Chains A and B, each alone.
Chain A
Amino acid sequence: MKKDNFTIIGQSLPKIDAWAKVVGETKFADDLVLSRMAHGKLLRSPHPHARIKRIDTTRARALPGVYAVITGHDLPRVKFGILPVSQDEEALCVEKVRMVGDAVAAVAAVDEETAERATELIEVEYELLRPLMSIEDSLAHPEVRIHEYGDGPNVHKAVSLQFGDVEAAFAAADLVREDVFFFEGNTHLPMEQHSAVAQWGADGKLTLWSSTQTPHYVHRLLSKILDVPQAHIRVVAAPVGGGFGGKLDPFAHEIAACKLSQLTGRPVKFTLTREEVFYVHRGRHPVLMWIKTGFTKDGAITGMHFRSWLDGGAYGSYGVASTFYTGALQTVTYKIPVYKFEGARVFTNKPPCGPKRGHGTPQPRFAMECQIDKAAEQLGLDPADMRRQNLAEPFVKTANHLTVTTTGLGECIDRVVEASGWRAKRGSLPPGKGIGIACSSYLTGAGTAVYWNDMPHSGVVVRADRSGLVAVLCGATDIGQGSDSILAYLVAEVLGIEPKDIRVHPADTDLTPVDLGSYSSRVTLMAGNAVIQAAERLRAKIFEAVARKLEVTRDRLVAEDRRVFVDGDPDRGASFAQAVVLAESMFGVLAFPGSYAPPKRAGKYKGGGVGPSPCYSYSACVVEVDVDRETGEVKPTEVWIAHDVGRALNPLLVEGQVEGSVYMGLGEVLMEEQVFRKGVHKIPSMLEYKSPTTLETPEIHTILVESDDPEGPFGAKEAGQGPLLPVIPAVANAVYDAVGVRIDETPITPEKVTKAMDAKRQGKPARVGPERLPVFRFPEPRVVESAFGQPAERIAERPFAS
């Protein structure tokens, strides 16, 4: 492909599904209506921790309009979970509930109202157990057990990794800082509530339509949970009305819909209420962090020791990965020669946390970038310059054995510094106004699948026929980020046709090759590389056919403007549709697969599988804030963000991802919190769970930086998650610049700002943040040699590449 001569790539085109969305045609899961469809409802536990002594569904069954009522005894007695190491969930709890919102029974009825009334008639007798509502609580009460497995009483996972001698690095430093931070939990809050429709046919085969980001993982797990061969289950991903990581696990309502459909012989639909969505959660972990870093007097980092304690909630979910992620990516932005990480995830009787945009990395990024700001002040350095002078180098390995390929972070910093007027503004804004900077990096797709296998992470079939239509079949799910459109642009570019000539079919496990799902910013890179491979294979056959017909060699042909022709002689050729007819006549059916699996670069140590990625995106962000010195209210007034996206396949969509990330970061740093009182969510509604509206969202200036990464499709990296990360610490650092107080925990509420300002006036430390750390012994560290500075190959070998 002529890289600098794209026709589709780099254009700000509308998404291929934009038209259906603006006229209300898009069918989300709750828009599906099937004949004779029943409506389902779950009965959920009102207690955070209790033993189930008895469930009596007699009265519910007797209610007119009720088709079936099930409990966990009607399902195979098998526990499941998204990660093979944490099989700890039940769709309907049998012996014990571990959080308010755990499902214990399910009803299918003629309508939603009848189903709900029936759930109220189910009698459940509970024996209350002591709820453990915080990390301290869970560690202090080993006699109470939320689960019987893990790395200690109520400890889901404890890890300790050491890459080089950090103590020696601290001894060699001019400044060693120890700081403590807390990042409050928050939730995805997708506009669409989860919904699923199941139909268990008379042929004994099951179809599930669901608003899920991971149809493949749901497919695998349904087979285990329902004890039905995967070959008899079909999962169709409905368009997802916002995911952000909240629709990545298999959920009770999906499983109950399947079972109830089998029992009633009817399709069954479940749609969660907004309150249920808050309890289903799997969102941002609350994380307490301790970070110790050595700096030289010119701002270089000599070494870092990072500890995190994650409040995991009641189940494993993706928590083992989340734990590792709190320690994985610190090393990817700046040079950190030696590094030690200790992390622990603790079970509590609250809805389970999991992956939310940035999965496990916004919390440590907040801690690290705020600490660098503090160190810069102590060292008398400009925080932007300090970061700029210590960037991770391209094509080298980090201390923890991650491979950095390209990095555009230097340019990102330069561009936001320039655009924001940083040099003129820093330290010179009027009282109450401040400016802050932070940087970050993020994965472009997780380097390993959630279950171990040697198969492709992404599979695509591209098919063309005599009509001239090109169909793309891929198991990826468009959750609004535009991944279907990206696949269409890539195919259009390779084949010289228009995106409109291409239909991208949504994930359907019967029809589309497996893609692991829309998580870890993986789809553009992985499905994108797979679709380019498939389209190039199709193009090769088309060229072969046209070459034979024209009696020229294949390498003289090009595909452009919906034609295949001899380069430099556009009249000698055929329309794309005619070319397909020629190829179909010569070779038969034209359907070509593409497969992608990332380079195998995982560090050779236990835990080395979390963090590797084909390449990393980079972001730098400057935020200007206005802090009301009376009320403590923080208003971000302008945001400048530069993002190294490798290549912007469609700048309009990349900007949209960056702007959405900035917005979500602002919500997390200033207002959003998933908090509980006596096991009950304090604010499970969209009114009380504060998220930014148009009025709280400032002007966002997005700058795209292109580093043309050799791993990405036409050089592209991710855009959907990374840009969230620097926003949070940039706001915290701007608040310090504005009013001279450090708020070392999110969200930065008016209460915390006024409290810190009061402390400052009284001559006390001008800080609000955690004061103490849990009493906890981490395991002995696994000691691995630091790989810092080792060169990395420019072109990595990967499976299925040829």
Chain B
Amino acid sequence: MKMLLSLRINGEERDVFAAAHKTLLEVLREDLNLTGTKHGCELGECGTCTVLVDGDPVLSCLALPVECQGREIKTVEGMAQGGQLHPLQQAFAELGAAQCGYCTPGILLTAEALLVDNGMPTRDEIKVALAGNLCRCTGYTKILDAVELAALRIKGART
């Protein structure tokens, strides 16, 4: 059964006519061509497909779009503003935190949610926040470094 969904994604209103049982992941990738959101398991195990819904990290492979109507959905495509990269994106690129880059969108968004809640997290707090996002390339080291650098830069920009 198809239904009309009204979604607010990256600040834009998008109407989609999609099967009601499709996951948010599928609708983002297949119906809206927002392929920046990746999939690693489609079972809620790896964190790759993380998006933000009202600012909270959500596994889009387990979420139904109908539940997200009227809420603010953010994908990796919505992180840069007016051509300016988010400090996390900048730091990830500079510090080599993205190797193959496949897990990167999910990790960036999870980290963004963390930094909104906790502007200067400790390394252990970053580890806890990212514990649900698997990365097979980096050994996480450069990812943690990049989140720390972004936090410092965001703080620096505010003060």
Contact = CB atoms under 8 A, between A and B. Distances in A.
B100 A695 contact: no
Nearest to B46: A686
Given A23-B77, A685-B43, A191 B135 contact: yes
A656 B140 CA distance: 9
Contact of B103 (A191, A652, A653, A663): A191
Contact of A191 (B80, B134, B143): B134
B138 A659 contact: yes
Interface in B108-124: 108
B105 to A, nearest CB: 5
A615 B139 CA distance: 26
Nearest to B80: A23
Interface string A220-256: 0000000000000000000111111000000000000
**Size class of the A contact interface (CB-based, 8 Å):** 35 or more
Contact of B41 (A241, A274, A659): A274
A31 B28 CA distance: 12
Interface in A1-45: 12, 14-15, 17-28, 30-31, 33
Contacts of A660: 99, 136-139
Contact of B93 (A14, A662, A687): A14
A540 interface: no
Interface string A661-678: 111100000000000000
B136 A244 contact: yes
B119 to A, nearest CB: 19
B151 to A, nearest CB: 16
Nearest to A693: B131
A664 B75 contact: no
Interface stretch (A424-432, A476-484, A554-562, A619-627): A476-484
B20 interface: no
B33 interface: yes
A30 B131 CA distance: 26
Interface in B79-104: 79-80, 85, 89-90, 92-96, 98-104
Contacts of A740: none
A190 interface: yes
Contact of B40 (A240, A661, A686): A686
Between A25, A655, A656, A685, the greatest number of chain B beta carbons within 10 A of the residue's beta carbon is seen for A656
Contacts of B142: 652, 655-656, 659
A400 interface: no
Given A273-B42, A685-B43, A240 B136 contact: no
Given A12-B96, A22-B98, 17 more contacts: A18-B101, A19-B85, A19-B93, A20-B101, A22-B90, A22-B93, A28-B102, A191-B135, A191-B137, A274-B40, A481-B99, A653-B96, A656-B96, A656-B138, A656-B142, A691-B134, A693-B131
Interface of A: 12, 14-15, 17-28, 30-31, 33, 188-193, 239-244, 273-274, 479-482, 652-653, 655-656, 659-664, 685-687, 691, 693-695, 697, 699-700
12 contacts: A18-B101, A21-B104, A26-B101, A192-B102, A193-B40, A241-B38, A242-B136, A655-B96, A661-B139, A686-B45, A686-B46, A693-B133
